[in-house]
Structure 1
Amino acid sequence: MIDAHQHFWRADYPWLPDRLRRDYTLADLRPHLAATGFTRTVLVEAGLCTAAETAGFLALAAGTSEIAAVVGWASLSDPDLAETLAAHRRGAGGSLLAGIRDQVQAGPDDFLDRPAVRAGLATVAAGGLVNELVVRHAQLPSVARAAAALPESTFVLDHLGKPPMDDLGRWRELITPVAECPNVVAKLSGLVTEVGPGWTAEDLRPFVETAVELFGPYRLMFGSDWPVCELVATYEQVAAVMTAILGGRPAGIFGRNAARVYLDGSGS
């Protein structure tokens, strides 16, 4: 089984809330993997937004059997993006670079429509890498437009686009055009933190079930979003609630789809 979304970071990362302000390392992750039965993970950039972080993650992955692939950071509007990607691939662990994630959520609603950003998305796709997107739900229309404009790219949507957890109808309206793009794969991740303290399975269920309806079982991936999830839940609780809602651990959602998207090079 593959956890398609986890992070490492140091205590000095600027954005960390006090509750998460400590180092989170491979040694911290391994007991959670053992407890839940996951054997491999996809390590995703943690919002530091530096090339050095990506290089460090790749070097770590090169010597770590649990890390199947790395989604690194790069600026999509960087005119030297192609060389940045090539440099990462020349470095230690470069073959494990599977995708690029810019912090789109920090930009305006139409960020993905900007010509320089579209060019960056095309550069990532031309390099055989996944375009990983962390967005706010208000940005979902631009996700659908970008995916339709770049059918040769595989897009991975983190956290189901961060739904407004009190408005299923609004989110369904926004996510449906995204799901209609066959080159978009979505992650069942990050939902507990979108609800916040006191979340229940019934808070998550309608969003998970709608995602299964719209994307189908072959374009969804489980992600723990550890250690961000520790704001409101343990790794084990996140794995358990998704297992309960899905009625088990479908092989695609809990590993095969991540292997296809990140490891096999065959995208969606």
Structure 2
Amino acid sequence: MGAAVTERTGVVDAHHHVWDLSVRDQDWITGPELAPLRRNFTVEDLEPQARAVGVSRTVLVQTVTVADETPEFLALAETHDLIGGVVGWTDLTGPHAADELARLRELPGGRYLKGIRHQVQGEPDPEWLLRPDVQRGLGAVAAAGLVYDLVVLPHQLPACTKAAAALPGLTFVLDHLGKPPIASGELEPWASDVRALAALPNTVCKLSGMVTETDLTQQRSAQARRREMLPYADTVLDAFGPGRLMFGSDWPVCTLATTYGGVSFMADGLTLGLDSDERAQVFEGTAERVYRL
């Protein structure tokens, strides 16, 4: 078995967020279940927790579809050694997506722009990714040498597969395993749809966001939650392989269920069947390669 995450150095956390509610609201934080997230979360809050479990670099991921957020994140990357890359947002449906990507690259910290993401999970059209205007925008992402993060729900996975097949020159990164129904324990049709996506060589998956897909209304131990997640982790490990899988904390959203150290510990437990080289891919190598850190 490889060393535990807490004993590693050089770990890449490929997925986390920050926000400052005095700058702008996070309008997705609604209801009593998400109430603990309705406060500021900063890089300064994250850094000691990340360093404590061996994380040396992170990928900061967009949270809202607001154009000003991406320049702010790039500036943060310029001033914080912890941040190795940014996955930002721009309007892919507009006619000038390519120009906007080029503009972002010229901003302070622009060299840290590694990918683009849109909250596809909130789009009512399950085939939003296949719209001609979106396809044009995705083509601009590919031409810019960036990757595209997919934040989707299980029913949207077939469209992800079609989009990835239509754009073989663009790397698609599936966030949070496509949000499988871990709380209910159902594997299908999610597992079959994930395997279809993974069959395409230009797809990658993040081992992230799983803990908050468990039943958060029930108090249970970390070991119990890990057992719930194991069939889903095993599915993506088998489908994508360690060379196309990367660890992400999804901090601070993960704090709804556990601490930063807790989510690292769970990820370590979910990969115990891998050898040291394979675990190095999941916890460092895949993210380095995909995001060109």
Which band: TM-score by shorter chain? over 0.9
Kindly indicate whether residue 113 of structure 2 is the aligned counterpart of residue 100 of structure 1.
no
Deviates more, 1:123-132 or 1:169-178: 169-178
What CA distance in whole angstroms lies between the structure 1 residues aligned with 2:47 and 2:168? 37
| CA RMSD of superposed structures (Å) | 1.2
SS at match of 1:218: helix
TM-score by length of 1: 0.95
What CA distance in whole angstroms lies between the structure 1 residues aligned with 2:28 and 2:186? 27
- Maintained 8 Å contact 1:189/1:223: yes
Aligned match for 2:17, one of 1, 4, 7:
7
Kindly indicate whether residue 83 of structure 2 is the aligned counterpart of residue 58 of structure 1.
no
Aligned match for 1:173, one of 187, 192, 206:
192
SS at match of 1:241: helix
Please tell me the residue identity of whatever aligns with 2:235: T
Q: How far did residue 64 of structure 1 move?
A: 1.1
Please tell me the residue identity of whatever aligns with 2:127: D
What CA distance in whole angstroms lies between the structure 1 residues aligned with 2:94 and 2:258? 36
**1:147 corresponds to:** 164
Deviation per CA, 1:135-184: give whole Å up to 9, x if none.
Answer: 01100000000001100001111001111222113211111110101100
Please tell me the residue identity of whatever aligns with 1:2: V
What CA distance in whole angstroms lies between the structure 1 residues aligned with 2:203 and 2:131? 19
Superposition pairs of residues 34-183 of structure 1, within 5 angstroms: 34-46=51-63, 48-107=64-123, 108-165=125-182, 166-183=185-202
What CA distance in whole angstroms lies between the structure 2 residues aligned with 1:246 and 1:128? 30
What CA distance in whole angstroms lies between the structure 2 residues aligned with 1:15 and 1:134? 14
Segments of 5+ residues of structure 1 without an aligned counterpart are none
Aligned match for 2:285, one of 246, 256, 259:
256
SS at match of 2:196: helix
- Maintained 8 Å contact 1:5/1:224: yes
SS at match of 2:68: helix
**2:3 corresponds to:** none
What CA distance in whole angstroms lies between the structure 2 residues aligned with 1:263 and 1:209? 26
What CA distance in whole angstroms lies between the structure 2 residues aligned with 1:194 and 1:135? 13
What CA distance in whole angstroms lies between the structure 1 residues aligned with 2:95 and 2:147? 19
Decide which structure has the larger Cα Rg and report it.
Answer: 2
Please tell me the residue identity of whatever aligns with 1:184: T
What CA distance in whole angstroms lies between the structure 2 residues aligned with 1:44 and 1:126? 20
Identical-pair percentage: 47
How many pairs were matched up? 263
Deviation per CA, 1:55-76: give whole Å up to 9, x if none.
Answer: 0000110111110000001122
**1:222 corresponds to:** 247
- Maintained 8 Å contact 1:68/1:263: no
What CA distance in whole angstroms lies between the structure 2 residues aligned with 1:74 and 1:202? 38
What CA distance in whole angstroms lies between the structure 1 residues aligned with 2:88 and 2:267? 26
Segments of 5+ residues of structure 2 without an aligned counterpart are 1-10
Kindly indicate whether residue 45 of structure 2 is the aligned counterpart of residue 32 of structure 1.
no
TM-score by length of 2: 0.87
SS at match of 1:168: coil
What CA distance in whole angstroms lies between the structure 1 residues aligned with 2:73 and 2:149? 16
Aligned match for 2:257, one of 212, 219, 232:
232
**2:8 corresponds to:** none
**1:186 corresponds to:** 205
What CA distance in whole angstroms lies between the structure 1 residues aligned with 2:45 and 2:98? 34
Deviates more, 1:134-143 or 1:79-88: 79-88
